[in-house]
Homo-oligomer: A and B are copies of this chain.
């Protein structure tokens, strides 16, 4: 996991701490996390953008600052609502001039689980609930629909973004080693919740139904209701998702999967099967 030539900061003095206000500014900048999203490094440049003011304050030594910028331009991807927790932890470590390897290890260990769990909890749980309520008001022509949605959603959203940076920074300063020890547990716990939710979401959100009706003589069998649903509800959504998963592991890119899916949809509609 270590880079070949371990870099040590020229200036080893611990930097002065970041104020609450400074942390809040970082949290605000983190809203830009995905401004330069791309398939090579995903949120790397956005991550850099978020933490630049802090790095400038911590590393007055120019070499150290440049080095730090370089380190933080590596591949990065996590959930945008949870990124500030990582920012907090990482900056606490930078401040203490901890080893580059330790910092990178923590960053990598945190970004994966927080990405999955964030998607599951915010985009796939919070969003459907709040937008669902909003929409059910809106379809009745009630202007409260979008308002209730925006308020409810963003109380959690900004609560997380502006709250977690302080939590992360506090954790990082107090107990980085302890965090690393418990990372295994946090990561496992997050995976458990995340995978339970994803398993459910496939059944709930992938909409793949066979509309074909099988006629033999006087008999009409609805293939979806009469056969597939009897074997297992949501069987095709599950099978299709696992197929996509398998193709991804075989090295297919998401773009091809999208194209394939569009073709399948068109063929399905053309043949009247879906």
Q: Mark A residues whose CB is within 8 Å of B.
A: 129, 132-133, 136-137, 140-144, 214, 216-219, 221, 226-227, 230-231
Contact = CB atoms under 8 A, between A and B. Distances in A.
A137 B216 CA distance: 10
Contacts of A133: 227, 230-231
Copies in the complex: 3
Contact of A142 (B132, B140, B216): B216
A142 to B, nearest CB: 4
Contact of A217 (B132, B141, B231): B141
Nearest to A138: B219
Given A137-B219, A221-B137, A230 B129 contact: yes
Nearest to A141: B219
A197 to B, nearest CB: 15
A217 B142 CA distance: 8
A113 B231 CA distance: 26
Return the 4 tightest CB-CB contacts between A and B, nearest first. Answer: A142-B219, A140-B219, A142-B216, A133-B227
A134 to B, nearest CB: 10
